[in-house]
Amino acid sequence: MANNDNQAPLDDLSIFLAVCELNGFRAAAKRLGLAPSTVSDKIVQLEMRLGVPLLIRTTRSVVPTEAGRALAERMGPLLVEARAALQDASSSQSEVRGLLKLNVTGAVMVDILPPLLDRFVERHPKVRVEVMVDDRLVDVTASGCDAGIRYGEHLAQDMIAVPIGPRTQRLALAAAPAYLQAKGMPRHPRDLLGHDCIRLRFSSGALVEWEFERQDETVTVDPVGRLVIGVDAVPAAIDLAGKGRGIIATFEDFLDPCFTSGELVPVLPDWWLKFEGPWLYFSSRFMPAPLRAFVDLVAEDRKASGSAATPD
């Protein structure tokens, strides 16, 4: 029989949500700084308290039951809102306290987010910051985060999106001079099919698409990658391109230092695809004090850079 004398502790619910999000006890334990056995024990205690199984455990995976999935969907936003209320209570107008937790795509960790975080932690010394790097589009509220940063994905209607970083970026191609001297310079995107290419792969398993445009012509090519490297290791991929191992396609901003040094040279620059810059998105239902302070800093940065955009 369920023991309903006491409500489930919020800490146990937070552990349960972490297990659901990460699909495992070990991954949740690593994030929470707990022993896997402790995480497992807490879930068992929660299930006994509620009187229903919340997770289906196998040797290979941990997935929520129907009851567990319903609980996670309802409790995720509530726990985030509770944390926001506690942070607001501990913050004063003169000093912001608490935790800012962001879920971001790895692309913004190269040159967009780090300088903002540096200024933010200097301005707000009582705020702790945790950054989760994940290239999947996730429900930031259900994952226990305050906000996310993504490129152009469709967001839920209750989300607010504000621009962060440059409003326009380009997918640029580059190769080492020695490689181009040996293999020749491509004249059209389709020529890439005959070249050694360094492809990047998202954590979802999908390859970064090679799409190009010039005037009214749009071309997508899918060359076989001689090297295929995860997007989290872009610096290593760029280094291999510099060693003459093939042509790479990635953010122009990432390649600019190599263009300046001459380590790499642009390939097909007239065809580079322009796309919209990243957005900081968060729930319209609540905004804890640390997030509000970060949004203010982002707005200051955009004003100082002299660029503007209309939020979605």
Task: List domains and CATH numbers for the chain.
Answer: 10-64 (1.10.10.10), 74-167+277-305 (3.40.190.10), 168-276 (3.40.190.290)
Q: Between these two residues, 255 and 71, which has the higher pLDDT value?
A: 255
**Which pair of structure tokens corresponds to residue 282?**
């968060």
Mean pLDDT of 288-298: 93
Supply the pLDDT for residue 4: 46
**DSSP per-residue string spanning the chain:** ----SSPPPHHHHHHHHHHHHHTSHHHHHHHHT--HHHHHHHHHHHHHHHTS--EEE-SS-EEE-HHHHHHHHHHHHHHHHHHHHHHHHH--SS---EEEEEEE-TTHHHHTHHHHHHHHHHH-TTEEEEEEE-SS---TTTTT-SEEEESS----TTEEEEE-S-SEEEEEEEE-HHHHHHH---SSGGGGGGS-EEEEE-TTSPBPPEEEEETTEEEEE-PPEEEEEEGGGHHHHHHHHHTTS-EEEEEHHHHHHHHHHTSSEEESGGGPEEEE--EEEEESS---HHHHHHHHHHHHHHHHHT------
Residue that the structure tokens 């800012």 belong to? 100
**Which pair of structure tokens corresponds to residue 42?**
């807490």
Supply the pLDDT for residue 124: 94
Least confident of 1-10, 161-170, 190-199: 1-10
Supply the pLDDT for residue 288: 85
Q: How far is CA 272 from CA 44, 110, 201, 217, in A?
A: 54, 20, 19, 12
Cβ atoms of 250 and 234 within 8 Å: the answer is yes
User: How many residues are there in the chain?
Assistant: 312
**Which pair of structure tokens corresponds to residue 8?**
């489930």
Average pLDDT taken over every residue of the chain: 86
**Which pair of structure tokens corresponds to residue 220?**
């997508």
Supply the pLDDT for residue 90: 59
Query: In 240-269, which positions are buried (b, 16+ CB within 10 angstroms) versus exposed (e)?
Result: bbbebbbbbbbbbbbbeebeeeebbbebbe
Supply the pLDDT for residue 131: 93
Task: State pLDDT tens for residues 83-138.
Answer: 666 666 655 556 888 899 999 988 899 889 999 999 999 999 999 999 988 877 77
Q: What is the C-alpha to C-alpha distance for residues 225 and 108, in angstroms, rounded to an integer?
A: 24
**Which pair of structure tokens corresponds to residue 300?**
């200051």
Supply the pLDDT for residue 114: 94
**Most confidently predicted of 49-53, 58-62, 100-104, 174-178:** 174-178
Q: Between these two residues, 74 and 270, which has the higher pLDDT value?
A: 270
Task: State pLDDT tens for residues 157-191.
Answer: 678 889 999 989 999 999 999 999 999 999 999 99
Q: What is the C-alpha to C-alpha distance for residues 65 and 69, in angstroms, rounded to an integer?
A: 6
Q: What is the C-alpha to C-alpha distance for residues 6 and 311, in angstroms, rounded to an integer?
A: 44
pLDDT band at 2 (very low <50, low <70, confident <90, very high): very low
Task: State pLDDT tens for residues 208-232.
Answer: 999 999 998 999 999 999 999 998 8
pLDDT band at 6 (very low <50, low <70, confident <90, very high): very low
**Most confidently predicted of 42-56, 97-111, 157-171, 266-280:** 266-280
**pLDDT exceeds cutoff 90 at 262:** yes
SS (H, E, C) 7-35: CCCHHHHHHHHHHHHHCCHHHHHHHHCCC
Q: What are phi and psi of 128, to 5 degrees?
A: -95, 145
Q: Between these two residues, 7 and 135, which has the higher pLDDT value?
A: 135
Residue that the structure tokens 């729930």 belong to? 283
